[in-house]
Structure 1
Amino acid sequence: MDVNISNWERLLEKISDGAMDIGLKLLLAILVYLVGSFIIKRIIKGLKKLRSLKSIDPTAEEYIMTFIRAALYVVLVVSIVALLGVPMSSVIAAIASVGVAIGLALQGALSNIAGGIMLIIFRPFSVGDYISTGSEEGTVRSISLVYTVLTTVDNRRVSVPNGSLMNSSISNASAEPLRRVDLNFDIAGSEDADRVEGIMKDVIARSEKAKSEPAPQVLITAGVPGGLTYTVRVWVKTADYWDEFAYLMKEIPAALNAENIARPATPVSVSK
Structure 2
Amino acid sequence: MRHLANVDLATLLAGIQWWQLIVAITVMVVGWILGRLTRRAVLALFARAPGLPRAAAYPTARIAEYLVVALGIGIALAILGANIQPLLAVVIIVAVVAVLVLRGTADNFTAGVLIQSENPVRIGDEIQVDTPGGAVVGTVTELTARAVMLLAADGRTVVVPNAKLLGDSVVNHTLHGLRRSEIQFRLPRVDGEAIDDLLSRVAEAAAAVPGVQAAPAPQTLANTVLQGKVTGVVQFWHEPTRGVVVRSDVVRALATAFADRGVEATVMSVQK
TM-score, normalization by structure 1: 0.61
Aligned to 2:151: 151
Unpaired segments of 5 or more residues in structure 1?
1-42, 83-87, 265-272
Output the CA distance in 2 between the equivalents of 1:65 and 1:177.
35
**C-alpha displacement of 1:97:** 2.4
**C-alpha displacement of 1:249:** 1.8
Deviates more, 1:236-245 or 1:128-137: 236-245
Aligned to 2:171: 171
Output the CA distance in 1 between the equivalents of 2:212 and 2:183.
14
- How much identity, in percent, do the aligned residues show? 21
Q: Per-residue displacement from partner, 1:214-235 (whole Å, max 9, x unpaired)?
A: 2221221356898443211222
Output the CA distance in 1 between the equivalents of 2:182 and 2:234.
6
**C-alpha displacement of 1:247:** 1.2
Report SS of the residue matched to 2:252: helix
Deviates more, 1:223-232 or 1:235-244: 223-232
> Do the aligned residues in 1 keep the contact of 2:218 with 2:237 (CA within 8 Å)?
yes
Of 55, 68, 71, which aligns to 2:61?
71
Aligned to 2:221: 219
Output the CA distance in 1 between the equivalents of 2:142 and 2:233.
37
**C-alpha displacement of 1:164:** 1.6
Q: Per-residue displacement from partner, 1:23-67 (whole Å, max 9, x unpaired)?
A: xxxxxxxxxxxxxxxxxxxx99x979xxxx6xx6644xx379855
Report SS of the residue matched to 1:181: strand
Residue 187 of structure 2 corresponds to residue 187 of structure 1: yes
Output the CA distance in 2 between the equivalents of 1:216 and 1:126.
29
Report SS of the residue matched to 1:176: coil
Amino acid at match of 2:253: E
Aligned to 1:98: 94
> Do the aligned residues in 2 keep the contact of 1:199 with 1:255 (CA within 8 Å)?
no
> Do the aligned residues in 2 keep the contact of 1:214 with 1:235 (CA within 8 Å)?
yes
Output the CA distance in 2 between the equivalents of 1:228 and 1:119.
47
Aligned to 2:257: 255
Aligned to 1:199: 201
Amino acid at match of 2:123: V
**C-alpha displacement of 1:159:** 0.5
Report SS of the residue matched to 1:169: coil
Residues 72 and 225 (structure 1 numbering): CA distance in 2 closer, same or farther, change over 3 Å?
farther
Report SS of the residue matched to 1:211: coil
> Do the aligned residues in 1 keep the contact of 2:203 with 2:220 (CA within 8 Å)?
yes
Output the CA distance in 2 between the equivalents of 1:195 and 1:47.
61
Report SS of the residue matched to 2:253: helix
Residue 107 of structure 2 corresponds to residue 111 of structure 1: yes
Report SS of the residue matched to 2:114: helix
**C-alpha displacement of 1:171:** 0.8
> Do the aligned residues in 1 keep the contact of 2:126 with 2:240 (CA within 8 Å)?
no
> Do the aligned residues in 1 keep the contact of 2:124 with 2:141 (CA within 8 Å)?
yes
Output the CA distance in 2 between the equivalents of 1:222 and 1:66.
62
Residues 72 and 245 (structure 1 numbering): CA distance in 2 closer, same or farther, change over 3 Å?
same
> Do the aligned residues in 2 keep the contact of 1:140 with 1:149 (CA within 8 Å)?
yes
Output the CA distance in 1 between the equivalents of 2:49 and 2:113.
13
Report SS of the residue matched to 1:233: strand
> Do the aligned residues in 2 keep the contact of 1:188 with 1:228 (CA within 8 Å)?
yes
Output the CA distance in 2 between the equivalents of 1:177 and 1:210.
13
Deviates more, 1:239-248 or 1:135-144: 239-248
Count of aligned pairs: 216
> Do the aligned residues in 2 keep the contact of 1:137 with 1:152 (CA within 8 Å)?
yes
The structure carrying a bigger helix percent of its residues is 1
> Do the aligned residues in 2 keep the contact of 1:186 with 1:227 (CA within 8 Å)?
yes
Residues 229 and 57 (structure 1 numbering): CA distance in 2 closer, same or farther, change over 3 Å?
farther
